[in-house]
Amino acid sequence: MPEGHTLHRLAAHFEKAFGGGTVRATSPQGRFAEGAARIDGRVLTETEAHGKHLFLGFDSGEWLRVHLGLYGAWTFGDADGERHLGAPRARAADRLALVRDEDGLVVPPAPVGAVRARLVNASGWADLRGPSACEVVTEEEKQAVQDRLGPDPLRDDADPGRAWRTVSRSRTSIAALLMRQDVIAGIGNIYRAESLFRAGIDPATPGRDLTADRWAALWDDLARLLRDGVRDGYIITTRPEDRPDPDALPVPRPDSLYVCYRTGDPCRVCSSPIAAADLAGRTLYWCPGCQRS
């Protein structure tokens, strides 16, 4: 499932590529036909991300809310070719000759697969496949969704104290609390495990056993990692001194994480074998040497 930095990148991309212009909305698959009709021909006026939710606002006062879930993905197409967000731009030989209709909007190619929603403007298109949620909501309905979410470290309105009030009273492990979107929004399996490693916190530690200072440091580090993810387009949590080649840029994918997907491999810091266990249906990774209780 995409983590919070991806949704903020998507919001920024939609603002740049679709903001301020008329958008044609359709549902090639048919499951979103009614919602598409409500925003078809409207102007995209603002974009927003909160945790793992993407909100696209239109001049009608309504919002398109998308939650990608485990299988959802956006694909974008323009004069530089078809690609997923963050993929390299196409080679010159692969670039598309765009065709426009009488309104100046791009005529995209025939949809491939089950496209839930297709958005088209004067410069390209965006296809959405497999989301867990895709709906048009009012301002009040959007706010109701956000009221159920915890603070998002990437948002200017984030209040770490709100999350701390829940964490500091809970007997639940910090590893489980970090995955609760009503506690802190946008954190997924990778950021959860990697941030706890970087903080030297045993994942089994009850929330109420953390000190306020350790929570503040954990929050600040999560915010820093998420901002890096927005900038880089993928998750890098290792510090330069813990990589085989500290000066390698971009960071090779095998060297980008401390514990995730490295079960049994030696810890990059203490050489202990990385451990893994199931926690609420997700695999939790940690280092028994660096993250002692």
Enzyme catalytic residues: 2-3, 52, 282
φ, ψ for residue 221, nearest 5 deg: -70, -40
Contact (CB, 8 A) for 195 and 159 = no
Number of H helices, E strands in the chain: 7, 11
Do 117 and 18 form a contact (C-beta atoms < 8 A)? no
**Angle ∠(131,190,133) on CA atoms, nearest 5:** 15
Six-digit token string for 127: 């296809």
Give the pair of three-digit tokens for residue 186: 């946008």
CA–CA separation, 241 and 257 (whole Å): 13
Give the tokens for residue 70.
């485990």
Distance CA 108, CA 101 (A): 10
